[in-house]
Every structure is written in C-alpha cells, then in structure tokens.
Amino acid sequence: MAPLVQSSQPWVEKYRPKQVKDVAQQDEVVRVLTNTLETSNCPHMLFYGPPGTGKTTTALAIAHQLFGPELYKSRVLELNASDDRGINVVRTKIKDFAAVAVGSGQRQGGYPCPPFKIIILDEADSMTEDAQNALRRTMETYSKVTRFFFICNYISRIIEPLASRCAKFRFKPLSEEIMITRVLHICQEEGLNLEPEVLSTLSSISQGDLRRAITYLQSATRLFGSSITSKDLISVSGVIPEEVIETFFAACRSGNFDLANKEVNNVIAEGYPVSQMFSQLFEIVVGANDISDEQKARICKKLGEADKRLVDGGDEYLQLLDVASSAMRAICNMQEDFS
C-alpha cells in the first residue's frame, strides 16, 4: 500500500498484523495455519469469538500469505455483512466465483498458491438461515476447489450443518499480559511511554478487546500527549465514574422515590449509556456486604430483565427508573411483584 494511505489510517488499521504469526493470543489457530502455509492445504474454517480478538485479521492474513498480491483478487472472495448475501447471491455470485477453475498448485512469486479458492464470509452470523442452507450444497459441490472461512461473534447463529463441516476455532478475549505486550509494541513504534499501572488500566477497561484498547490509546495520545495517565484513559473510554454509580445506588437505598427519580433524570441528562450503567451497577450490587443474598437476587433479576428490554429497543429512562424502583423495593423490603 502507498505510504499516503498508511498515514491516514487510524491505528487499529495501521497495526493490523499482516502475517498469521503476528496474531497474538490465538495460538491454536496460528499453529494450524502455519502448518497450512507449509502443506498448502486446509479444511473449511469457522472463527468465532468476541469483537476485536483477531478473527478478520487472521483470515485476511492467511489469504494474503497464501496467494500474494497478484493472485489475491482472483482467488479470494471476501463477503461481509455490507454485501448482499441473500440466497440469490449465495446461489449465483459464490457459485460463479467457485466454478472458475484454478491452475495446478504451483508456487508463484514466492507464495504457496494452493489449487483452491478461498471464500471469506465475515460476520456470517448476520446471514439468514435460508442463505446458510443454500450454502450447504455449494460447499459440497465445490469442496475440492474452495475453502470457506466463516467468521462470526455468535456461533449459535450458524446452522449446525455448516458448523459441522468446519474446523472450529474460538478466539478468546486477549489476556492482560498479551494485550500489554501488543500495546507496548505500538507504544514503541509511536514513541510513547506508559507506566505499568496505566497499561494495566488500559487492559482492564478494554475487557479483552484489542481494537478498543488501540482506539483508546490513540485517542488519549491525541488528547493528552505522550504522557498518559489512567484517568485520561478512563475519560476516553466511556466508563462511568464510580461516584455516579454510588450516588445513584445511595438514592435507591434512601427509600425516597422522588430522589431516585431525580438521579435517574440526571444520569440520562449526563448522557451515560444505560447499558453501561447496568453493568457497573451489577458489580456494586453483587459486592455490597450490607444487603442480603435474597435482596441481591431480586435486584439482579430485574437487571437482567431491563437489559433484555434495552436490547429490544426499550427506552433508557423508563428502564433505569424501573431498575431504581425495584432496587429500592428490594432493599426496603417492599412489595416485589405487581400483577
């Protein structure tokens, strides 16, 4: 790629590993794929796991390493959720691509160039079940000359007949140690110097998502210069300050509905994401040592329900108010259910 493109890319792209061996943490898949580079063969693959753990990176890297820039276009088809992947596309586009014959497996320009094509279906969990079913036949018909790479966050959304045809690899959230190693590498390239304590904060707020860690790092660098503190990182990360949660929970404990309602309004006006509020509230409730297990259970039950409703598109204010009211009723031993 031209240097101009390089410099205008966000760090997440700039530091996307180009080679399989540079993918951190996911040893198992790296081993299998390194082997592929030698033997020039591989099974169909299914990568699954949470965001920012290297799934797309790995698939793109192996495709590039197998075919090199010359052949890449004719041998690799990348389809993601932004492409139409209805049944028709699966039937025609993928078939057309798979059906064109490939030459015998001859190394070209230093790349293994095995005699098959790769079809990468990124974000496969957003494909309809019908489209997935249509793929079964295609996979079988062209099994000699194609390898499919399915990538998704939720393996449960991939139909069993497809999943069972693939070698499955779970991409694990990055451990603190490995994340720090990777971040340190970037710091070195960018001339940054981070204290160990700051590194560990970065890792804990990113929750195993390296993409997030890199975005926070870049943002904090732009905003606060090359000496970054833990506070700077927290402020760019969107984690809600502990005091806000404490004040909110104190209002629930007070038994005063209007006070709790006022706090709810405040949280909404401050723009804190309610889903984030729920996760942090959950930690506080579970850790509180002056309320009984039964009371905790009551609150957590409500948190679960409200979280589901948010995912369904429920209103943030109403759901947070409902949680506040339930927590108050649990702590003050008031009526639990209404009918």
Partner 1 sequence: MLWVDKYRPKTLDQAMVHQDIAQNLKKLVAEQDCPHLLFYGPSGSGKKTLIIALIRQIFGPSADKVKVENRTWKVDAGSRTIDIELTTLSSTNHIELNPSDAGFQDRYIVQEIIKEMAKNRPIDTKGKKGYKILVLNEVDKLSREAQHSLRRTMEKYSAYCRLILCCNSSSKVTEAIRSRCLNVRINAPTDEQIVKALEFIGKKEGLQLPSEFSARIAEKSNRSLRRAILSLETCRVQQYPFTSNQIIPSMDWEEYVSEIASDIMKEQSPKRLYLVRQKLYELLVNCIPPEIILKRLLFELLKKLDAELKHEVCHWAAYYEHRMRLGQKAIFHLEAFVAKFMSIYKAFLIAAFG
Sheet holding 45-48, edge to edge: 76-79, 117-121, 146-152, 45-48, 167-170
Among ligand ATP, Mg ion, partner 1, none, partner that 59 touches (CB below 5 to 8 angstroms by kind): none
Note the maximum CA span of the chain.
77
Tell which one of 25, 26, 53, 56 touches Mg ion (CB under 5 A): 56
Q: Which stretch binds Mg ion (CB under 5 A): 52-60, 170-178, 275-283, 310-318?
A: 52-60
Tell which one of 33, 44, 56, 66 touches ligand ATP (CB under 6 A): 56
Among ligand ATP, Mg ion, partner 1, none, partner that 182 touches (CB below 5 to 8 angstroms by kind): ligand ATP
Tell which one of 33, 36, 42, 57 touches ligand ATP (CB under 6 A): 57
Angle between helices 176-190 and 210-224 (to 10 degrees): 40
Rounded to an integer, what distance in angstroms lies between the CA atom of residue 308 and that of residue 310? Answer: 5
Q: Give the H/E segment covering residue 180.
A: helix 176-190
Q: Which is nearer to partner 1, 240 or 285 (CB)?
A: 240
Among partner 1, Mg ion, ligand ATP, none, partner that 270 touches (CB below 5 to 8 angstroms by kind): partner 1
**Which has the closest alpha carbon to 113: 9, 40, 162?**
40
Tell which one of 53, 201, 203, 206 touches ligand ATP (CB under 6 A): 53
Rounded to an integer, what distance in angstroms lies between the CA atom of residue 159 and that of residue 177? Answer: 35
Tell which one of 44, 75, 117, 211 touches ligand ATP (CB under 6 A): 211
Rounded to an integer, what distance in angstroms lies between the CA atom of residue 118 and that of residue 94? Answer: 11
Among ligand ATP, partner 1, Mg ion, none, partner that 25 touches (CB below 5 to 8 angstroms by kind): ligand ATP
* Cα distances (angstroms) measured from residue 218 to each of 188, 192, 224, 228: 13, 10, 10, 11
Angle between helices 242-254 and 316-331 (to 10 degrees): 60
Entry field: residues in the chain: 339
Q: Which is nearer to Mg ion, 56 or 219 (CB)?
A: 56
CB of 231 to partner 1, least distance (A): 14
Q: Does residue 26 bind ligand ATP (CB under 6 A)?
A: yes
Rounded to an integer, what distance in angstroms lies between the CA atom of residue 237 and that of residue 75? Answer: 40
CB of 111 to Mg ion, least distance (A): 24
Residues at the contact surface with ligand ATP, assessed by CB under 6 A: 12-13, 15-17, 23-26, 51-57, 153, 171, 182, 210-211, 214
Residues at the contact surface with Mg ion, assessed by CB under 5 A: 56
